[in-house]
């Protein structure tokens, strides 16, 4: 069983609540970590960072950067500029990790899009290091290849990360996206110190919706604890983010969501 003090509450697990409501719910429940999203930071991420610290919360990561592939050089430059801003926001809010969700192909050339991902990371990695921010490549489930990410396996993410120093670029292991992969445990071991984050939820059967159908831990088929033990055996000892997109869950009050997440974290993670 994972220690409760490692639980990080990803803001989108209470997707209809404000960040302030999530902060208050975490504080009341004794949660020590939070994973905010960029849209909630407003124009002053440093002020949000102070608010989080005043509430006794540490920031496990900021979501998200990435989305590098684009049809034109000008649009790709805009994506890179947005990632440079995301790095500044991560530093200002008080985290050393920016999660990269790497985007779909702008046309049917998925190989070219994957090259754009590598080029995009190369364009921002020096600024990230100077800012004290690591870049975590998050592979998504293959069902998201057409509209969210051309990086769909841990093997691909490892091959990308290995082109950069391990202090700069690593992986985000999200069980919802990787549990099905027959190479998952081999690739977790391969990643080793490059595992920068570990995210949990569950895969409900039948899946109600690809994006909005994630389950609470224990509601589905993922061997969450085995995967957690694997990332720990590879060397990861950091916070464990619970990230769940689920409309019925979002309809509940933030305090109720945080309480249920903490209970299931102790039972299933």
| pLDDT (0 to 100) of residue 1 | 78
Q: Which CATH architecture has domain 4-268?
A: Alpha-Beta Barrel (3.20)
Asked if residues 135 and 102 have their Cβ atoms less than 8 Å apart, the reply is no
- Written as tens digits, the pLDDT of the chain (269 aa) is 789 999 999 999 999 999 999 999 999 999 999 999 999 999 999 999 999 999 999 999 999 999 999 999 999 999 999 999 999 999 999 999 999 999 999 999 999 999 999 999 999 999 999 999 999 999 999 999 999 999 999 999 999 999 999 999 999 999 999 999 999 999 999 999 999 999 999 999 999 999 999 999 999 999 999 999 999 999 999 999 999 999 999 999 999 999 999 999 999 99
| pLDDT (0 to 100) of residue 88 | 98
Q: Which residues contact 78 (CB under 8 A, 6 or more apart)?
A: 70
Asked if residues 224 and 240 have their Cβ atoms less than 8 Å apart, the reply is no
Asked if residues 61 and 27 have their Cβ atoms less than 8 Å apart, the reply is no
Asked if residues 159 and 183 have their Cβ atoms less than 8 Å apart, the reply is no
pTM of the model: 0.97
CA 138/CA 177 separation, integer angstroms: 9
The DSSP call for residue 143 is G
Distances (CA, A) of 164 to 16, 121, 161, 169, 179: 37, 9, 6, 6, 26
Asked if residues 267 and 9 have their Cβ atoms less than 8 Å apart, the reply is no
126: left (phi over 0), alpha (psi -120 to 50) or beta: alpha
Reported as half-sphere exposure (CB side, CA atoms, 13 A), residue 250 has a value of 16
Domain positions in the chain: 4-268
């Amino acid at each position: 069983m994972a220690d409760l003090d490692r639980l990080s509450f990803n803001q989108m697990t209470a997707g209809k609540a404000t960040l302030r409501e999530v902060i208050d719910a975490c504080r009341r429940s004794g949660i020590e970590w939070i994973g905010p999203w960029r849209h909630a930071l407003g124009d002053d991420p440093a002020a949000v960072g102070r608010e989080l610290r005043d509430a006794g919360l540490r920031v496990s990561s900021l979501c998200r950067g990435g989305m590098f592939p684009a049809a034109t050089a000008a649009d790709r430059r805009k994506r890179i500029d947005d990632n440079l801003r995301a790095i500044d926001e991560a530093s200002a809010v008080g985290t050393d990790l920016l999660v990269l969700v790497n985007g779909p192909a702008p046309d049917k050339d998925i190989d070219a899009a994957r090259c754009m991902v590598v080029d995009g990371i190369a364009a921002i990695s020096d600024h990230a290091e100077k800012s004290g921010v690591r870049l975590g490549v998050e592979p998504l489930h293959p069902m998201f290849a057409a509209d969210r990410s051309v990086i769909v396996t841990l093997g691909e993410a490892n091959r990308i990360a290995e082109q950069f120093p391990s202090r700069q670029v690593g992986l985000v292991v999200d069980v919802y996206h990787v549990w099905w992969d027959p190479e998952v445990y081999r690739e977790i071991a391969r990643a080793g110190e490059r595992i920068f984050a570990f995210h949990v939820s569950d895969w409900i059967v039948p899946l109600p919706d690809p994006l909005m159908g994630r389950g609470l831990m224990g509601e589905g088929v993922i061997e969450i604890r085995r995967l957690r033990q694997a990332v720990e055996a590879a060397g990861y000892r950091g916070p464990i983010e619970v990230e769940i997109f689920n409309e019925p869950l979002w309809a509940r009050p933030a305090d109720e969501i945080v309480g249920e997440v903490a209970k299931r974290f102790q039972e299933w993670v």
